[in-house]
Amino acid sequence: MTSRLLVKIGGRAFEGEQGFKELATAIKSCRKLELILVHGGGAEISQALKDAGRQTRFIDGIRLTQAEDIKIVEDVLSGTINQRIAAWIGANDIACQRMSGRTENLFLVEPLTRSGLNWGYVGQIKQVNPGVVLEALEAGKVPIISPISIDESGASYNVNADSAAAALAAAARCTDLVFITDVPGVLVREQIQSSLTVEQAQALIADGTIKGGMVAKMESAFEALANKVPRVHIIQWQGPDTLSDMIGRQFSSGTVLHSN
């Protein structure tokens, strides 16, 4: 049986070429694996905005993106980072296909409305058109996707990469959504929770155990599970065996979220 994983990469494991070399090795070692890669690029975006004299402001883990910012954000995500990831993975004999949420209207968005704030050019996904991704998988390629997306007028919007990953995992009928992060999983009193239901995770958010950027990741996980993605994993990269161990259910670290 083929496993179709959507992996959203982040964290220090993937700041350099070595992490992507290990990821390529992991992909090659898994038979009957279809892999979709979604990336963000928060630190590099912040640096590029700083270099341009722009301030960065986050609310609930989401970056406010004004008209003066969006071209910089798009250049970093869909240009610099996307191209670099494709080059590093491609150098290890993995066929890749670069794309963004703009590619063939993969992600159609509308302005994010939340807490009565003007978030600027931050989009919330209202429609996913996964055909271009599924065609890449059919051709044996790994789609490498920047979350920059498009509205009906053709304007670019910044979309939180976790949200984009969740929406695409559902639309592409992935067996697993995997968030690779800097933390080893969901911690409760310094103990990694190997498994959580949505109800348990919501209680941990309510009592303040889960907080900060992990809340936005959890909201994306809940969205994916509600839309029939069977499992969501929050893990730290453990080297080239990470994916095969996960598929074989031999993974001893990280947190798996499921509906019930």
DSSP-derived secondary structure for 54-82:
----EETTEE-B-HHHHHHHHIIIIIIIH
pLDDT on residue 250: 61
Residue ranges for the chain with pLDDT beneath 70 = 11, 13, 60, 249-252
Any idea which architecture 3-258 has in CATH?
3-Layer(aba) Sandwich (3.40)
Instruction: Burial-class residue 90 by CB neighbours within 10 Å (0-12, 13-18, 19+).
Output: middle
Residue 56's pLDDT is what? 86
Domain spans of the chain, in order of start: 3-258
What pLDDT does residue 80 have? 95
Query: Residues of the chain with pLDDT > 70: what percent?
Result: 97
Residue among 148, 166, 144 nearest 216 (CA): 166
Which pTM value belongs to this model? 0.94
Q: Residues 167-213: pLDDT tens digits?
A: 999 999 999 999 998 888 898 888 899 999 999 999 999 999 998 87
pLDDT for position 150: 97
Per-residue model confidence (pLDDT) at position 244? 84
SS3 label, residue 227: coil
Backbone angles phi, psi at 118, to 5 degrees: -95, 105
**In this predicted structure, what is the pLDDT of residue 252?**
60
